Structure 1
Amino acid sequence: MIDADGVLLWVERRGQGPDVLLVSGLGDPAEVWRSQLDGLADRYRITAFDNRGVGRTPLPEGPLSVPGMADDAAALLRALDVPAAHVTGFSGGSFIAQEMALRHPGLVRSLVLMSTMARPDPYFRAVARFWRWMAERAPGERAMLEAFYLWVYTPRAHADGMVDRLVEETLAFAHPQSVEAFQRQLAAFAGHDTLDRLDRIGVPTLVLSGEVDLVAPPRLGRVVADSIPGAAFEVLPGEAHQPFQEVPDVFNSRVDAFWRAVDAGGPGSG
């Protein structure tokens, strides 16, 4: 546990090299980044953490907000004496990463925004309303996970047993997220809006979208990339919401190339 300006955050760190901060999405503890913690620690010092109300980080009183969670991430870097990091955020974590770059620009060396958007559209808001009551009314945790994972993984992952494995791992996890914490985090992400401020981001940025992502389709990622000066935008063919889990070698190779270009200050750095 790390005291980040009065907030106790569970943190996992691995490796040596340039600093990378990984910011998780809705309901995801640090373990969601296992393939990056394992696969990139030979070249980078990787930091992953549990957001408020997720995993081992307690849920505070009062509403959650994306700016507040961005302040937590910034306080964490300061507590770890990290002057600046390559910040990678996934889904709701990409909302946090956007706010972090806007509120604490000196701490952000570059941005990778996976499965992102600048402002939830009516479809996403409808999905969020569905997820809210699904968490309350699903007949059990397994049923909730099986329904939720329909939205975020490819049919391939359902067919090859990956989703079944993830369901079992989540059910066995010693620190499950409460329904209240899930709903409060979901409400914060549904209220995200940086659309009119993204042009203030001045760090190299890579926006990645899964071609068949139902939750954050490429058209929403394209808006983010078009709004950030110099941002690169790429669509991962055949992938859904969580390519960093489904095709980690592809994801790791792409972000590694981007970070190397940023550190070298050459082409491809945004």
Structure 2
Amino acid sequence: MGQMIDANGVELWVERRGRGPEVLLISGLGDPAEVWQPQLDGLADRYRITTFDNRGVGRTVLPDGPLSVPLMADDAAALLDALEIPAAHVAGFSGGSFIAQEVALRHPGLARSLVLNSTMARAEPYFRAVARFWHWMVERAPSERAMLEAFYLWIYTPRAHADGMVDRLIEETSAFEHPQSVEAFQRQLAAFAAHDTLDRLGGIDVPTLVLSGEVDLVAPPRLGRVVAQSIPGARFEVLPGEAHQPFQEVPDVFNSRVDAFWRAVEAGDPDA
């Protein structure tokens, strides 16, 4: 059962589960803490997992004023402080991976390691064009279902559309009791479209694993490779046949890979 925790001047909805080394999972655009259910279920026997609703998502309100990736990174850092967690393995996907980068850069020592899934160092022109499309799509789609059907074309593999997974996710999202508002979606999207850490990633000095889906349309592997090449010692891996959210589509594969990485970090393996 989750709870509200005051962090950085906002009440964040937080889910915690498990026992072991501390892990912080950071969601991307529009996704509440529940998106990490396969990790909460699959990794909590080995790790103490914390995840939360970002500003304007799920049960966390979106205050007035500017919204930025650095601000959301400060929220994450303040949450760890409120929970009296001195350091954690930090993992994020998509926009959450942007936040994770800023956590490591703005709060040295807080991240013991980074897992960056479906990531990029700078919002390139193609991604910004996609963001402009999504901005008006969420306003003008004829229904919520139509919006999700269009949005998920960018997010999930053809396999997930064929085997019924996307239909199930649309039903679950439509039934969720805390839907994101159009304004919150657009403001969060604008923050992610302004992301740029390219010239600062060399300052990250923690073990880092960058994972890219081979067929990811939004954050293709070439962008993840740039992130890995910019962070000293970072490992880069492409997940064959996967798209933007492999932690949902193939959770066993994802969980096994990050578990092996975190175990190596815990063991002090210099090649982690």
TM-score, length basis structure 2 = 0.98
4+ runs of 1 displaced by more than 6 Å?
A: none
The answer on 1:113 being equivalent to 2:111 is: no
**Equivalent position to 1:19, from 19, 22, 32:** 22
**Equivalent position to 2:246, from 243, 265, 269:** 243
The answer on 1:34 being equivalent to 2:37 is: yes
Aligned to 2:230: 227
Structure 1: which amino acid aligns with 2:243?
A
Structure 2: which amino acid aligns with 1:75?
A
Aligned to 2:161: 158
**Equivalent position to 2:133, from 130, 133, 136:** 130
Whole-angstrom CA distance in 2 between matches of 1:212 and 1:31: 24
Aligned to 2:56: 53
Structure 1: which amino acid aligns with 2:222?
R
Match runs of 1:38-187 below 5 Å: 38-187=41-190
Whole-angstrom CA distance in 2 between matches of 1:202 and 1:146: 40
Structure 1 residue 62: Cα displacement: 1.5
**Equivalent position to 2:262, from 256, 259, 262:** 259
Whole-angstrom CA distance in 2 between matches of 1:5 and 1:69: 9
Residue by residue over 1:115-159, the C-alpha shift from the partner in whole angstroms, topping out at 9 and shown as x without a partner, is 000001111011000000000100011100000000000000000
Say whether the 8 Å CA contact 2:8–2:74 is kept in structure 1. Answer: no
Structure 1's unaligned 5+ residue stretches are none
Whole-angstrom CA distance in 2 between matches of 1:93 and 1:267: 26
Q: In structure 2, the residue corresponding to 1:255 is in which secondary structure?
A: helix
Say whether the 8 Å CA contact 2:201–2:227 is kept in structure 1. Answer: yes
Structure 1 residue 63: Cα displacement: 2.2
Structure 1 residue 7: Cα displacement: 1.3
Aligned to 1:196: 199
Say whether the 8 Å CA contact 1:14–1:37 is kept in structure 2. Answer: yes
Whole-angstrom CA distance in 2 between matches of 1:136 and 1:206: 36
Task: Give the fraction of aligned pairs with identical amino acids, expressed as a percent.
Answer: 86
Structure 1 residue 267: Cα displacement: 4.6
Say whether the 8 Å CA contact 1:258–1:268 is kept in structure 2. Answer: no
TM-score, length basis structure 1 = 0.99
**Equivalent position to 1:2, from 5, 13, 17:** 5
